[in-house]
Amino acid sequence: MLPDVILHTAMSVDGRITNFPADLGLYYGLAAQWNPDAILFGSETVLAAVRENPALEVPPEHEELFTPPPGTKEDPRPLLVIADSRGRVRCWDAIRKWPYMRDVLACCSAATPADYLGYLKERRIGTIVAGDDRIDMRAALEALNRQYGVKVLRVDSGGTLNSVLLHAGVVTEVSVLIHPVIAGGKADPTMSDPLKAGIMDLQVPLLLQSAEVVGDGIVWARYRVQGRKEA
């Protein structure tokens, strides 16, 4: 059984997901409404975060959005799942210090280097291995549901992983926060990059569920993905 999968993205009017001042407080505040059991990152997103913040320190103004209230018996925070078939993420100890999640988990494939799988095992990082040459995201999501009880998964990632998930037909909803700014610069990155994901054709029909103005002139549009493949 697949969990509900929500792609949640902040973008500029010209479709950029970088190079503009995104309202992160609003972004995470709205994201919490789904109450996800897990959050999925791609390795590229994690490595980009490390380049910008090598110590992976958490901005104090964001901690209260994720820290459980005192006296909470069960940790309500989501799992953080990182898709990393090539074994590129080596900062798991620092990631574990983030207050955003209750634990971390890696998604790999049969092609993931054995030394990296050993590295994860030494650090007692739960690992799902699904797929041969690359991660079979459908099988990985089914394992998340079956083994870890994940019913709602939010994706905070870039165009490569987003495209893989859309192409696999596992996405339930696409949520975009369109900021009133033209970012300019390069035409990428955007929320979908099928060519980088090795996908030659990606056409995904969406059905608008709601659209409203939130924050300072930001449009929040939510779409259901038509024809999600449940099996």
120 against 53, higher pLDDT: 120
pLDDT above 60 for 62: no
pLDDT of residue 67: 61
The pTM of this model reads: 0.89
Q: Tell the residue number behind the tokens 């500029």, with chain if given.
A: 12
Question: Which has more pLDDT, 97 or 70?
Answer: 97
CATH number of 4-59+77-225: 3.40.430.10
Total residues belonging to the chain: 231
Q: Do 6 and 49 form a contact (C-beta atoms < 8 A)?
A: no
CA distances to 19, 53, 125, 193 from 186, rounded to whole Å, are: 9, 22, 37, 14
Over 80: is that where the pLDDT of 151 sits? yes
Tell me how far apart the alpha carbons of residues 181 and 100 are, in angstroms, rounded to a whole number. 28
Residue 197 — very low, low, confident or very high, per pLDDT cuts 50/70/90? confident
Angle at 44 between CA 3 and CA 84, to 5 degrees: 60
Model pLDDT, residue 144:
97
In this model, does residue 6 exceed pLDDT 70?
yes
